[in-house]
Amino acid sequence: MSTTTVSAGTTATAPANMMEVRDLVVQFGSGHHAATVLKGVSASVGIGRTVGLVGESGSGKSTLAKALVGTVKPTSGTISIAGVDTADLSRGDRAAMRRRVQMIPQDPYSSLDPRRTIGQAIAEAIDPKRPDPKRHRETILEWLRTVRMPEDTIDRFPHEFSGGQRQRVAIARGLVLRPEFVIADEITSALDVSVQAEILNLVARLRAELGLSMLFISHNLAVVRHVSDDVIVLYQGEIVEQGPAEQVYSNPQHPYTRSLLDSVPGAPGFSID
């Protein structure tokens, strides 16, 4: 961690955390129909770290992801990205923040427009106002290489690719702006088990190569374990356990974490490439 002297005798410390939420509450609806989906969640992702967020369907994982990208408004609590409280952002700063925080979508079949080439889809992420695959050709090709897709992918359409290949493209599209913070919400859940392992290998490699700060969300603890430094277990909108991934996996403290482990048959065949 670096420190900068701002004036004699005082130092400002660079933020240690890329993301930090404190006492985050998200409630949907009101009165009799109110549902409190996040009940005071406090968590952080350190710079260059990957934190796995695990919990069964309906536990509030995607709601937390949406709060982080600003599409769900917290009822109370604070969210800081790179040391900045997102509640303090002006409209313009909010737009800039949206480029710094990227969500990789879950479903590679619906996230790519069938009428646009892969080159157009990635160019759109680079410059939504003037998407131009020709102008950004070198950048697009570089990212296709990074996710191990052939160069001619640039001129092809989504239907020409498998689910796993589309997810590689979606990852390239999510990373092309070099976001500081990446949220991957169930990015392997729509894929066959053998393909899941491929995508996990890719994520593991990218996080090492690019030094990503990432929140990696899955309902499967075995999946999360392989790409995460630390693991957070969410149960009915509350964190019931958090710690180093290996520790949570090999020595779970909370009965709910144990039940999550019992309910998964094991990791998909996995090896670092």
Site map (CB under 6 A) of ligand ADP, residues 60-99, x = contact: xxxx------------------------------------
Site size toward ligand ADP (CB under 6 A) is 11
Report which secondary-structure segment, H or E, holds 168.
helix 163-175
Quick check: 35 binds ligand ADP (CB under 6 A)? yes
Burial of 89 (0-12, 13-18, 19+ CB in 10 A): middle
CB of 217 to ligand ADP, least distance (A): 7
Among 44, 50, 62, 228, binds Mg ion (CB under 5 A): 62
Residue among 81 and 217 whose Cβ is closer to ligand ADP: 217
Beta carbons of 111 and 105 less than 8 angstroms apart: yes
| 37 contacts ligand ADP (rule: CB under 6 A) | yes
- Residue 119 within binding range of ligand ADP, rule CB under 6 A: no
Q: Cβ atoms within 10 A of the Cβ of 269, count? A: 11
Least distance in Å: CB of 237 to ligand ADP?
7
Q: Which residue is nearest to Mg ion (CB)?
A: 62
Distance (Å, whole) CA 51 – CA 89: 25
Among 44, 50, 59, 242, binds ligand ADP (CB under 6 A): 59
Listing from the earlier edge strand, what are the strands of the sheet with 181-185?
101-104, 181-185, 213-218, 50-54, 230-235, 238-244
If binding means CB under 5 A, how many residues of this protein chain bind Mg ion? 2
Residue type, 124: E
Q: Which stretch binds ligand ADP (CB under 6 A): 6-14, 56-64, 75-83, 160-168?
A: 56-64
Q: Which is nearer to Mg ion, 61 or 226 (CB)?
A: 61
DSSP 59-102: SSHHHHHHHHHTSS--SEEEEEETTEEGGG--HHHHHHHHHHEE
CA distance 238 to 40: 7
Which residues is 101 bridged to in the sheet? 181
Among 14, 58, 145, 152, binds ligand ADP (CB under 6 A): 58
Residues that bind Mg ion (CB under 5 A): 61-62
Residues that bind ligand ADP (CB under 6 A): 28, 35, 37, 55, 57-63
